[in-house]
Structure 1
């Protein structure tokens, strides 16, 4: 990588670890948001920061047909995207028991999407596009579950919770549609963007979709009306209710 790209990766690491500290501070005054929500987003940014640390130090890459494949990105995504989905699922089922095939379908489809993306980048010719299309189909399944069964769960609760879910799902939908688009036009796909531009976009997108989503989702939940917060406090299992701090 160029010096510019190395610097970008270290800046990304700094943003992720800074976000982890911010989530910890927020958890000290949780505003009735369960502690597990803060913990999920802390794990997302810490793991992502560690994965991109490897890239900044020249690790987590390999050469395929003369191109550099940054497989550490996929090691990041295969862990953090299911965690983001878990956070969204918990938002959609905020005051009801979390069970059934929807959650399993989301997790499984997301893992398939990430792994097929890695295989696509490690492939050439027909195989590359076969695996790319397979990953896009898996993404469509994820989005269908977003806006179908999980939305119905959100609708069964207070209107304020449904609104939070819709906004959160829209946020992730826009972000996750951008990933295959950047992959397609970047060096991994058609090569319409050079390496520097592709790397820059794959720095910006995860910041917005990981740290950005964490702040967005948590703030929406923290700002729920007091009537809904009382309902949540009454209905939730006491040992899962918000308590000051993660420490």
Structure 2
């Protein structure tokens, strides 16, 4: 009997163990990064506000026993610290500020690159302060040295251009180098014109007022020159390259502002008292205005 020969069939189609695919690589986007004022910077703004108010009160008191016609330096110097007080009050209370945001790209392996925003707080109130107070500071120096009106006006205009250029640079887009650093360059060039109109011409004219006034102008001029040169350096490191925190930026600027305004003011007014030749007699204009010039007033000498 022939028996059929059957062999067990082994199928090669049976399912076998296979590797389960891993999860697809994912990247969690980086949230927006804010570089903003902290507790230390906030306290610094309030302290500086108080110092500016105190300085304004002292400057006003110093002018009480000075004749009205000779209070010009007192009035200008007091206005400087009053404007600074308003500026620091605005910044301390959270006004006069905005954010300048830039895009930062994050590079990853095996997945597309991502980006996030870095927003730095910019106190535009500081630039409004400088646009009003620095021309007054220059006016103090020009009047002290006897600089003529033409060079005084040109110095003030160059100074305003310098400050506004700094504001435009601070608000410029981070990716547009020509926009941001171009305004910064314009501001630095304007600063050179300020030096030329005030320092060079002031040095020539102040010699006619005597040795004491020349020394005072030279001291105040060099003091102001060193401080004002530090401002663009701080800007380049802080708002420009963003290498410092906002708190550090505030602290440095407040130190410079305190030296350039209250300290400058005390130096000028206390020295001015001891030098009668620095007095500017504006009895005609200050008391009667320019419209009365040329009229004959009873009781005045010919």
- Aligned match of 1:115: 164
Tell me the alpha carbon deviations over residues 2-25 of structure 1, each in whole angstroms, 9 at most, x when there is no partner.
222111111111000000111112
- Aligned match of 1:196: 247
Mapped contact 2:213–2:278 kept (Cα < 8 A): no
Change (3 A) 1:58 1:47: same
- Please report the TM-score for the alignment, with normalisation by the length of structure 2: 0.72
Tell me the alpha carbon deviations over residues 69-116 of structure 1, each in whole angstroms, 9 at most, x when there is no partner.
1100011110000011111111111xxxx6431111111000000000
Q: Does structure 1 residue 101 correspond to structure 2 residue 150?
A: yes
Change (3 A) 1:239 1:101: closer
Q: Return 5+ residue gaps in structure 2 as ranges.
A: 1-36, 102-118, 287-302
Match of 1:26 among 62, 77, 80: 62
Q: 1 or 2, which has the higher strand percentage?
A: 2
| Secondary structure of residue in 1 paired with 2:209 | coil
Change (3 A) 1:32 1:59: closer
- Aligned match of 1:245: none
Mapped contact 2:97–2:122 kept (Cα < 8 A): yes
Mapped contact 2:70–2:282 kept (Cα < 8 A): no
Q: Return 5+ residue gaps in structure 1 as ranges.
A: 242-247
- Aligned match of 2:185: 133
Between 23-32 and 203-212, the greater mean CA deviation after superposition = 23-32
Shift of residue 33, structure 1, vs aligned partner: 9.3
The structure with more radius of gyration: 2
Mapped contact 1:102–1:150 kept (Cα < 8 A): no
Q: Does structure 1 residue 165 correspond to structure 2 residue 217?
A: yes
- Aligned match of 1:72: 125
- In structure 2, what is the Cα distance between the partners aligned to 1:119 and 1:166? 32
Mapped contact 1:34–1:240 kept (Cα < 8 A): no
Mapped contact 2:49–2:85 kept (Cα < 8 A): yes
Shift of residue 193, structure 1, vs aligned partner: 2.0
Match of 1:183 among 225, 230, 235: 235
Mapped contact 2:91–2:97 kept (Cα < 8 A): yes
Shift of residue 128, structure 1, vs aligned partner: 0.8
| Secondary structure of residue in 2 paired with 1:148 | helix
- In structure 2, what is the Cα distance between the partners aligned to 1:131 and 1:75? 17
- Please report the TM-score for the alignment, with normalisation by the length of structure 1: 0.87
- In structure 2, what is the Cα distance between the partners aligned to 1:212 and 1:167? 13
Aligned ranges 1:73-92 → 2 under 5 Å:
73-92=126-145
Match of 1:46 among 70, 82, 87: 82
Q: 1 or 2, which has the higher helix percentage?
A: 1
Higher relative contact order (CA 8 A, sep 6+): 1
